[in-house]
Structure 1
Amino acid sequence: MSATADRIAALLRQHPVWDGHNDLPWEARDQVGYDWERLDIGGDTSDRTHTDIARLRAGGVGAQFWSVYVPSNLPGSAAVTATLEQVDAVRRMVARWPEHLALALTADDVEDAWAHGRIASLMGAEGGQSIDSSMGTLRALYELGVRYMTLTHNHNNPWAESATDAPAPHGGLSAFGREVVREMNRLGMLVDLSHVSAGTMRAALDVSEAPVIFSHSSARAVCDVPRNVPDDVLARLADNGGVCMVTFVPSFVTPAIGQWRAAAGEAARAAGVAPNDVAEFDRFATAWGETHPKPATTLDDVVAHVEHVREVAGPRHVGLGGDYDGAGGFADELRDVTGYPRLLAALADRGWSDPDLAGLASGNVRRVLRDAEGVAQRLQGERAPSVARIEDLDA
């Protein structure tokens, strides 16, 4: 091993990676109907997924937010049911491999998992469609272990505007949406601003009393696509205390691929396919790409985003959110969950200090969750659970 590789290996033993977003549960649904005997991540699944336990270990991963994603165009009650199935799948996955995985509900739980040599497993709901505009459902998901909720996915919901849908009348968050953020703060559920419009980002930062996260987003100044974070929002993370967990998704980190995807989106619309319909658009883009080759992505493209977020937001406000098993075509060095040490080594070679690398790997998001827990403890002493109803606030 090189001196840099030795340095990163030593750092990860003390400061494991805490990744913001992995879609393995949805892959388990798609491939095997959530049958963990048939998708045995205790063995080698490299021909089927980006993720298995051995590769998580090789990548220095010590904590993972597993996405309990469901499509954002599911109708309300169906979205809730599908989210519950995702939660159940994660909990059964953890129970299936208890010697390697540990369910984590708090920052202390994460540290306890590390002390016992296990990978802390947390859950994040990807999109407000999962609560069907119900505060009771939001609280139920928290009780089941969901520790962040992305306010939207690819479609607007009744109270929040997505980055990839038509502008909403409220321009970000409705009155009910602002109350959702307040209730998340009271619970200690992290407000995740990936996938939302810039207007929603700014509105949520105006309301939130706790640090926010971007579980898997990159910098719009580096790659100008709607899914990325504008500089004015990144700059606000310093005061908010939040963290932008940089994603590795090629169309969000490589400008040429972002442009390719935009062109594919226009072609899809002309063919009657909505670009924000994940399954339909992916099928369309695969076929369209046969005559319109996709440009290549590189590790350096991801490095550029990590460094830009550090420069604008500060070293305490950047993290990692690969989006493995939720996207494809990653840079070769980041081809699966073994890639984190190679990214950290590239940053080390560019002069990053060990404290800044440790913060990027996990220290920053650990602080954010602990701070959110502190805010929740205070707020629970100040106000009762919200009984707000969307039909009353957004009439």
Structure 2
Amino acid sequence: MSSRPWIALAVVPLLCATAPLAWAATPEQVAAQALAEAPVWDGHNDVPEQLRDRRKDVLAGFDFADTMNTADPAKGIDPMQTDLARLHKGHVGAQFWSVYVSATLPEPQAVQAVLEQIDVMKRVVAANPDTMMLATSSADVEKAMKQGKIASLLGMEGGHSIGSSLGVLRQMYALGARYMTLTHFKDTPWADSATDAPQHNGLTPFGKNVVREMQRIGMLVDLSHVSAKTMADALDVAKAPVIFSHSGAIAVDGHPRNVPDAILDRLKANGGIVMVNFYPSYVSEAVRQWQASRAGEATRQGILHPDAPEVAKAALEAWDKAHPKPVATLSDIADHIDHIVKRIGADHVGLGGDFDGGSVGVEGMPDVSAYPALFTELARRGYSKADLEKISSGNMMRVLKAAESYAQAHRADPPIESPTTF
């Protein structure tokens, strides 16, 4: 023992004061620790759409382990943004695969096409049993994550998918669909879209019954793509948490595809989440304004030179040179997360990248491998490991469990009926 014990005693508080500085985790370490414990659960990926557009749903010769060779430069087609190798690199542990089909299809054709998309994604999962697992419940997601597999859930994008039939809705659930976006870019016969002229002032009475029946059976109500009035009407009816599978904050980017603050406030009371989207014009107000200005200039040149399209084209090219397109960035995505967290808390935000469906050109987020970079940015902004785990998958798990609990409590309720139309 030291002959001068007071020296040793004086050193102890000094060590205690300096130890946290010596052991402070870097943002990269905080992000890595959070993702190791809570892998990303992404709300929206359009691989099924790519399979339909590129391959007509024929999987012979398709290798989902690596899709970097899927480009077709002659047709201006880029490689896919998603494959198993990059999902692993991105720490994606659960994915809602969007079984989207075009909203321009007549409803009977849309129903058939969605069935085909459910089928093709199930075949992809079945072809990769070592790395993927079909999931239809929160318990399945937990099991898949524990096994190190990608929990693969199905989400229908657009209410045209059910052909205005509650019977079809119930059968889609039976086939594994676990959310439905009420509209896509066009109104349905029962709900208004964010990007179409409103026809119904939100939800019709049938549309409200769609929401009720979805929650009765345990299907998540997805309010991305719908008008603000449709959002409000759905929240009026909802008894369980709802989601926005791939949207941002309208206060950061004014696109109507994003969520107004007044709806965010109601979402907090509902217990739901916004899964933040990476689509450039929904992420960056500068990009949105540039696109509007360019469209206006193209129209102006067409009116000025209706007899000389080559002159109009040259004038637009000159405008492009004088007005370079802004670039949406990873930091812009973090700004949306910041706004939602500051407005309603870290319990109400997740991620819905929309990769392979339009989220191309965001600097720092090229594909599904880049989620760690976003989490590092959030950690750099001061997000705790606990909050990062909520954003990555904890919040989505809570919401799905709440939807399942509500459905379980109402399992004895009779199905809502609607008459057939033909």
> Where do residues 59-78 of structure 1 align in structure 2 (5 Å cutoff)?
59-78=90-109
Residue-pair matches, total: 376
Which residue of structure 1 lines up, in the alignment, with residue 172 of structure 2?
141
Which residue of structure 2 lines up, in the alignment, with residue 232 of structure 1?
262
Q: Distance in 1 between matches of 2:254 and 2:94?
A: 30
Question: How far 1:38 sits from its partner (Å)?
Answer: 3.2
Which residue of structure 2 lines up, in the alignment, with residue 302 of structure 1?
333
Question: How far 1:45 sits from its partner (Å)?
Answer: 2.4
CA displacement 1:278-327 (0-9 Å, x = unmatched): xxxxxxxx999967753211111111001101111211000000000001
Over 3 Å counting, the alpha-carbon distance change for 1:266 and 1:184 in structure 2 is farther
Within the candidate set 229, 245, 250, 2:275 is matched to: 245
Contact 1:250/1:329, CA 8 A, preserved across alignment = yes
User: Which of the two has higher C-alpha Rg?
Assistant: 2
Which residue of structure 2 lines up, in the alignment, with residue 52 of structure 1?
83
Letter in 2 for 1:99: D
* Secondary structure of residue in 1 paired with 2:269: helix
Which residue of structure 1 lines up, in the alignment, with residue 45 of structure 2?
22
Within the candidate set 16, 31, 42, 2:54 is matched to: 31
Q: Distance in 1 between matches of 2:168 and 2:317?
A: 39
Which residue of structure 1 lines up, in the alignment, with residue 397 of structure 2?
366
Q: Distance in 2 between matches of 1:37 and 1:5?
A: 40
Question: How far 1:85 sits from its partner (Å)?
Answer: 0.8
Which residue of structure 2 lines up, in the alignment, with residue 330 of structure 1?
361
Contact 1:39/1:45, CA 8 A, preserved across alignment = no
Question: How far 1:82 sits from its partner (Å)?
Answer: 0.8
In the superposition, the TM-score normalised over structure 1's length comes to 0.90
* Secondary structure of residue in 2 paired with 1:375: helix
Letter in 1 for 2:175: L
| RMSD between aligned residues | 2.3
Letter in 2 for 1:35: V
Instruction: After superposing the two structures, state which structure 1 stretch, 253-262 or 24-33, moved more.
Output: 253-262
Over 3 Å counting, the alpha-carbon distance change for 1:267 and 1:167 in structure 2 is farther
Structure 1 residue 83 corresponds to structure 2 residue 114: yes
In the superposition, the TM-score normalised over structure 2's length comes to 0.85
Q: Percent identity?
A: 51
Q: Distance in 2 between matches of 1:135 and 1:165?
A: 24
Q: Distance in 2 between matches of 1:97 and 1:53?
A: 9
Q: Distance in 1 between matches of 2:154 and 2:301?
A: 36
Instruction: After superposing the two structures, state which structure 1 stretch, 185-194 or 29-38, moved more.
Output: 29-38
Instruction: After superposing the two structures, state which structure 1 stretch, 52-61 or 289-298, moved more.
Output: 289-298
Letter in 2 for 1:193: L
Contact 2:245/2:275, CA 8 A, preserved across alignment = yes
Unaligned runs of 5+ in 1: 273-285
Which residue of structure 2 lines up, in the alignment, with residue 4 of structure 1?
27
Unaligned runs of 5+ in 2: 1-24, 70-77, 303-315
Which residue of structure 2 lines up, in the alignment, with residue 124 of structure 1?
155
Over 3 Å counting, the alpha-carbon distance change for 1:206 and 1:96 in structure 2 is same
Letter in 1 for 2:193: S
Q: Distance in 2 between matches of 1:328 and 1:63?
A: 19
Which residue of structure 1 lines up, in the alignment, with residue 138 of structure 2?
107
CA displacement 1:75-129 (0-9 Å, x = unmatched): 1101101111110011000001010000000001000001111000001100000
Within the candidate set 207, 210, 221, 2:251 is matched to: 221
Over 3 Å counting, the alpha-carbon distance change for 1:112 and 1:262 in structure 2 is same
Q: Distance in 2 between matches of 1:150 and 1:307?
A: 24
Within the candidate set 48, 66, 69, 1:43 is matched to: 66
Question: How far 1:39 sits from its partner (Å)?
Answer: 3.0
Q: Distance in 1 between matches of 2:408 and 2:295?
A: 45
Question: How far 1:260 sits from its partner (Å)?
Answer: 2.6
Contact 1:124/1:149, CA 8 A, preserved across alignment = yes
Q: Distance in 2 between matches of 1:180 and 1:322?
A: 26
